[in-house]
């Protein structure tokens, strides 16, 4: 009997959906934690992943591309097999079972969201908040054309509530944030998701990385 071919993918790995949106910023944060990140473009890329990050971007465009390339059904299949999923901003919209005034997409979290709840790009803002489940320290939050989580169903744990909306939730298999942790120097949410996926991030990385800058993600751009 021929020996099985060894896997060429070092394990464990977290994927970042790479169809549209802020992919490199997430990969940069994972690298800082010593976690290998894989850009996911096809159903085959999902095989064996411990977790998948759905980045911020344009949810309608992302949903259309998910269907065109058949990645939506592959995500649902791998989720049922145990792959964890984290949605940020547009990724949160993709995960919601209900989108106010629109058709839902992946529908993996029993919650209702509203797109562009804060207005236009010019209405983007930053804030800080303590999210006890994630970190005992105040965390920087960046909101860019963000949705609001309006309500959640049974079994959905609220991690952060702000004013009249819910900003972060989780279930055993999912995490959703309406803001962008990847656009700050904080690796706290990425660490939290990695641990949720059963991984062991590097212990000596500060929660607020002093080596981060707004252009840190450009380290991952390859000139062809």
Residue 109 CB-half CA count within 13 A: 31
Residue 11 CB-half CA count within 13 A: 10
Task: Catalytic residue, from 78, 180, 190, 197: name it.
Answer: 180
Q: What tokens does 69 get?
A: 């390339």
Spatial CB neighbours of 132, under 8 Å, sequence gap ≥ 6: none
CA–CA distance, 206 with 128 (Å, rounded to integer): 17
Dihedral sign for Cα 5, 9, 12, 14, please: negative
Q: Is 89 a residue of the active site?
A: yes
DSSP 135-167: -SS-EEEEESS--EEEEE-TTPEEEEEETTEEE
Task: Catalytic residue, from 26, 182, 190, 197: name it.
Answer: 182
Q: Is 200 a residue of the active site?
A: no
Task: Catalytic residue, from 89, 112, 170, 190: name it.
Answer: 89
Q: Is 26 a residue of the active site?
A: no
Phi, psi at residue 46, to the nearest 5°? -80, -15
C-alpha dist (Å) from residue 92 to 5, 29, 45, 120, 216? 37, 19, 21, 18, 24
Q: Around Cβ 193, how many Cβ atoms within 10 Å?
A: 31
DSSP letter, residue 129: E
Question: Which residues are marked as active site?
Answer: 89, 180, 182
């Amino acid at each position: 009997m021929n020996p099985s071919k060894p896997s060429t993918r070092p394990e464990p790995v977290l994927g970042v959906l790479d169809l549209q949106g802020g992919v490199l910023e997430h990969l940069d944060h994972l690298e800082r934690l010593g976690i290998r990140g894989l850009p996911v473009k096809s159903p085959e890329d999902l095989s064996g992943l411990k977790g998948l990050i759905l980045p911020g971007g344009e949810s309608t465009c992302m949903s259309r591309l998910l269907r065109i390339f058949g990645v939506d059904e592959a995500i649902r299949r791998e989720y049922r097999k145990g792959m964890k999923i984290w949605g940020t901003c547009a990724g949160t919209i993709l995960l919601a079972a209900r989108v106010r005034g629109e058709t839902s997409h992946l529908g993996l979290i029993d919650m209702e969201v509203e797109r562009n709840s804060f207005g236009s790009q010019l209405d983007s803002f930053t804030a800080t908040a303590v999210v006890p489940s994630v970190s005992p320290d105040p965390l920087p939050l960046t909101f860019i054309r963000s949705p609001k989580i309006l309500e959640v169903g049974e079994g959905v744990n609220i991690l952060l509530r702000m004013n009249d909306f819910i900003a972060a939730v989780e279930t055993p298999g999912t995490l959703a944030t309406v803001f962008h942790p990847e656009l700050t120097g904080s690796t706290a949410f990425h660490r939290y998701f990695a641990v949720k996926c059963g991984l062991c991030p590097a212990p000596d990385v500060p929660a607020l990385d002093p080596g981060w800058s707004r252009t840190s993600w450009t380290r991952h751009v390859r000139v062809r």
